[in-house]
């Protein structure tokens, strides 16, 4: 109000009146813009809070569904384990003669391989000693034939190990 009194008392131009009016309109426009921006910001914040609440509720629903799914899976696993436990422990497998021979001669571990090799060596040694005894009994004095038989026995051992 003081401004209006100053303007009335002074004998000034109408330009000053126009400037005051324009200044007043600009101030009102700025206040209006600030109010509208503040209102938009509030609306955005409310929308973000609502979206966050929806996301949280969806996440909670998902977690609940996952928990229910895991409970169902664990129940299924328990049912399967009970069924497996109820099955007979031992049951016979019908094998052919070839399958039985393969089971007996199969080498599964390194220890079995070493054991088999030692048995083969013992068998070859027994065969060699029997052959040498037989050769001496027959009277073959040729050392060359004995060495040749020994070489053949070694070849057979090598084949059996491969």
Per residue in 7-43, pLDDT (tens digit) is 555 556 778 888 889 999 999 999 999 999 999 999 9
Residues 111 and 143 in one domain: yes
pLDDT digits (tens, 9 = 90+) for 111-140: 777 787 788 777 777 777 776 666 665 555
Residue 98 lies in a domain: no
Cβ–Cβ < 8 Å for 150, 158:
no
Average pLDDT of the residues in 100-113:
77
Q: Tell me the helix, strand and coil percentages in the chain, rounded to 5.
A: 85, 0, 15
Considering the domain architecture, whether residues 75 and 127 belong to the same structural domain is answered as no
Q: What is the pLDDT of residue 16?
A: 81
99 within a domain of the structure (yes/no): no
Does 162 or 33 have the greater pLDDT score?
33
At a CB cut-off of 8 Å and minimum separation 6, what does 10 contact?
Answer: 16
Residues 53 and 48: their CA atoms lie apart, in Å, by: 8
pLDDT of 32: 95
Q: Does residue 120 sit in the same domain as residue 152?
A: yes
**Residue 11 located in a structural domain:** yes
Say yes or no: 63 and 110 in one domain.
Answer: no
Token output for 149: 């038989």
What CA–CA distance (Å, rounded) separates 70 from 152? Answer: 67
Please check whether residue 107 is in contact with residue 116, taking contact to mean a CB–CB distance below 8 angstroms: yes
Model confidence, pTM: 0.30
| pLDDT score of 111 | 77
Determine, yes or no, domain membership for 100.
no
Indicate whether 65 and 109 sit together in one domain: no
The reported pLDDT for the residue numbered 42 is 92
Average pLDDT over residues 102-113: 76
10 and 48 fall within a common domain: yes
Report how far Cα 34 is from the mean position of its chain's Cα atoms.
Answer: 55
Does residue 79 surpass a pLDDT of 90?
Answer: no
Owning domain of residue 47: 2-86
């Amino acid at each position: 109000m003081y401004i209006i009194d100053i303007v009335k008392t002074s004998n000034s131009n109408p330009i000053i009146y126009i400037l005051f009016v324009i200044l007043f309109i600009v101030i009102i426009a700025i206040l209006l813009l600030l109010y509208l921006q503040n209102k938009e910001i509030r609306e955005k914040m409310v929308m973000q809070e609502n979206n966050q609440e929806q996301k949280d509720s969806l996440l909670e629903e998902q977690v609940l569904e996952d928990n229910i799914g895991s409970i169902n899976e664990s129940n299924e696993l328990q049912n399967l384990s009970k069924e497996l436990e109820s099955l007979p422990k031992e049951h016979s497998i019908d094998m052919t003669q070839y399958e039985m021979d393969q089971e007996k001669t199969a080498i599964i571990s390194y220890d079995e391989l070493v054991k088999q090799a030692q048995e083969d060596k013992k068998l070859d040694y027994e065969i060699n000693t029997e052959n040498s005894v037989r050769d001496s009994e027959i009277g073959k004095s040729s050392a060359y034939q004995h060495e040749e038989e020994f070489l053949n026995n070694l070849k057979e051992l090598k084949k059996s190990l491969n």
